[in-house]
Structure 1
Amino acid sequence: MRTLLLPLLFFAFINCSKSGDNKHSVNADLVEMINEEPSPPSSISEKLLPDGKSSTSTEIKTDTISRKIIKNGNIRIQVGEIKKAQALVNEILKKNNAYIQKEEFRNTDVDENLDLTIRVPHKSFDTLINSFSDGLGSVLSKNVSSDDVTEEYTDVSIKLANKKIYLEKYRDMLKSAANTKDMLEIQEKIRGLEDEIDVAEGRLRFIDDRVNYSTLNLSLYKEKVRSSATSKIGFGSRFADSITEGWNSFVAFLLGIISFWPFFLLLPLIIILWRKWKKKKQ
């Protein structure tokens, strides 16, 4: 019996020591994992771009961005009738899938002006300008400009892609934040990135809108015929009217002088004082 018990006790002792070693190794692994928990980085680039992999991914995306060109134009046309010209403009706009964004009409004694701000698809811009130049009237002035915003669009796109990467990293870090201080710092970073992403996306939408739809400022001008209102009246009537106008002008002049009567009352007093001062000086 003793020979059997001694080996059994020896094996049991060995198993207990091994289990203890395993527990110590598991605890050591847990300590290492806890120590490796991510903490809020002092700068975004230090944590998220250690090897430059994210920047290369954005560079690949920029290769697919097409040219971004914004076209704008101004054209002023003299027409015979504003209403007829406006009807023709509406027909031309329908053919080119364009629309009027703003309309302003001015009617003076000398002329009539209709100013239109037109948005037209990028591909139909040149066709629309040629249609207005040939079919409406006499072109007084025309100005067309093209602005290449590809570089700006690319720059904003790269920054937006990087900010989205940073945002996802911070959201992952927020899930494993160790304490309240770290959570607050990460949440502040997330709010700032979300605001910057909204601004960047808004800028890209604005550029896309200006690229896809060009802007044309069209001004229709009509000069009124200058005719005298008294051209059909006889000489006698016109002579009498001239006398009447002259008399009215004289009366208005006289009334204007009378309105200065307080100054006329002060004038003799000023003369008397001036004479006394001159005598004393002599």
Structure 2
Amino acid sequence: MRVPLYYMAPVVLLTAACSSGSNHHSYNAADDTAVSMNEVAQAADSTGFTNDITSVNSPSRKRVRTADVRCRVGSVFNAVSTLEHVVRSVDGMVSESVMQNESVVTRDISYSADSLKRIELYTPVANLTLRVPTASLDSVVHTLTGMATFIDYRTLKDEDKTLSYLSNAMKNNGPAPAAIKPVAKSSTLAIAQYKDQKYDTQTDRRIENLAILDDVHYATFTVQLFQPQQADVQIIVNPERLTRAQFGTEFLLAVRSGFESFGALFIFLISCWPYIILLVLGILIYRKVLRKKLSVQ
């Protein structure tokens, strides 16, 4: 049955309206993205500071803080769990968290007729890389040192990146160069390559400034943990006893091995028959000559 066209008209209009709304939403999302990218570029090139940066302790200076601690704890697992919880509670991030057991020595000793006692000495260790809000770095470091039973070393660094940040921002905010026109010795391709290279350089400076801002807001905390040696004791089967044959089988194998050795010796002697004949002839000639000498005397 054919559907009248005036029944299909509302459906077509509704579909077109939905499509137009979807496209309008996509355009708005693209505009929002473009605005956010412009804001990011402006933040990377900003040279405005809310405070006087001539003071070394000015809050507006771009100071990058890092911490590095290696210490012994009572339990590596508990210390790692506590640190990860503390970092997440202050809106930080666990960039890397690795726990492992470093084997020191493994020894097997007799335990029973068919088993061994395996003793393995190992050291539990952990390596963490944490990104902590700069304002919370001291409290996180204090939390770790409070759990430590022995501190191998603790290093705190506060590096000022203000001048590097200003250098990149001022270069990007410099006056626009005059329009370049091709001359006799240049080409349109060379000018295009120059513009591309300049754009790449500006982008690299912006990315470098964004990395500085990221490091200013979030300090990097590197942690190495270890605890006293632990012993892992296991009772395992003795592989030599398990793979060793019974007495009857070993006896038959020994007899067979003896016959094989005797046969190999016999074959070897047979293969040397020319030398044996020469040896016998030599003995006979020697005895004959010896008898003649004795008879002459």
TM-score by length of 2: 0.48
Q: Quick check: which one's helix share is greater?
A: 1
Q: Quick check: which one's strand share is greater?
A: 2
TM-score by length of 1: 0.50
